[in-house]
Each structure stands twice: as C-alpha cells, then as structure tokens.
Structure 1
C-alpha cells in the first residue's frame, strides 16, 4: 500500500510503501504561493518499481488542492510535467 504525506515542517512530500519511507519530493516555499520542487529521491531499496510518478503526482495533487503553484527545478518533476500536461497549469 502506498501513501503520500505532506511534512510541511521539513518542506517535503513523502511516499510511504507498506509503512516504510520509499522516497520524497523536497521543495522550497518562496512565500508567494509558489513551491520550488528542487529535489526528488526514491530510496535505493525501492527503485525500479515506478514510484517516482506516484510520488510527484500525489505532491502536485495536494499543491493543486491548496491553491498553490510550482516551479519544477527538479528534473524528475520537470519530466513528470512533460508526460502529464494536465498538470501544466500549476507551473507559475
């Protein structure tokens, strides 16, 4: 079972798989309603399982629900946006 959780104090979204942290997407909040996603990691034990996309999707879905926008400086987030143009409206 996978779950995305937001850790605002750490400025990151975490992907849990069966209760274990599998990876995270870190961001910087510039205070203007734009979150700069600058680093995405899937931990080595969880790589090769296609977890990057659900991690980024979950984070961006939460950003959208909160009425914020993003800056995709992380290559993983930028690639996700290229493959999923329905999230392009979040770029600001």
Structure 2
C-alpha cells in the first residue's frame, strides 16, 4: 500500500491492524475498529529498533490515505495519530465530527 524508504504499510483486517514492515520484520502497527463509514484509530506502536526512522509517519499516512480512498471518516483516539493529523492539515478533512453536541 505505502512505502517510506524500506517501510511497507498494509492492512491486516483479520487482526484489525495496519502493519508496517521492513522486509519481513514487523516495524510497527496501528490498531483500529472499523464501521461502514468510520475507522477509529485506537493505538499506534513502533518497535524500538525502528523508532526515529519514520515508521509512525508512514503508518499514519498509509492509514489516512486508505481511509480517504475508502470514503471513511477518521476518529483519531490514538494521541500519535491525532497529533500527526494536526501537524498535517491536508488530512483534517478526514476527522470524524459527531453531529450531537450533547455532553454529560
């Protein structure tokens, strides 16, 4: 799906994860929950050996590009993904905004 350097990001729907691989090594993943019109990105993890090599950014870009191509809105529960979208405003249009303004 997406390659950043030697990092390839692919969807593993049975595991509810997008996986980033470098060759055969798992470099990181984004866990998600999916509904027909929405994907909730709940957790991002990068293996220590791959930190600082752009794996998190490759994952974010790959997942968000896939969401856009699939017509999905994005609920960024994961703080990393939420912050990444904030730093890349070209993805802000994907954010899910609830219609309800009800609070506790």
- TM-score by shorter chain over 0.5: yes
> Following TM superposition, where does structure 1 have runs of at least 4 consecutive aligned residues deviating by more than 2 angstroms?
none
- Structure 2, unmatched stretches of 5+, are 1-5, 97-104
Q: Which residue of 2 aligns with 1:87?
A: 91
Q: Which residue of 1 aligns with 2:38?
A: 34
Matches within 5 A, 1:1-92: 1-29=6-34, 31-92=35-96
Q: Which residue of 1 aligns with 2:100?
A: none
* Residue deviations 1:35-73 (CA, integer Å, cap 9, x gap): 110100001121122221111101111111111111001
- Structure 1, unmatched stretches of 5+, are none
The size of the alignment, in residue pairs, is: 91
* In structure 2, C-alpha distance between the alignment counterparts of 1:47 and 1:63, rounded to whole Å: 24
| TM-score normalized with structure 2 length | 0.82
Following superposition, the deviation at residue 32 of structure 1 comes to: 4.1
* In structure 2, C-alpha distance between the alignment counterparts of 1:55 and 1:32, rounded to whole Å: 21
* In structure 1, C-alpha distance between the alignment counterparts of 2:89 and 2:24, rounded to whole Å: 31
| TM-score normalized with structure 1 length | 0.92
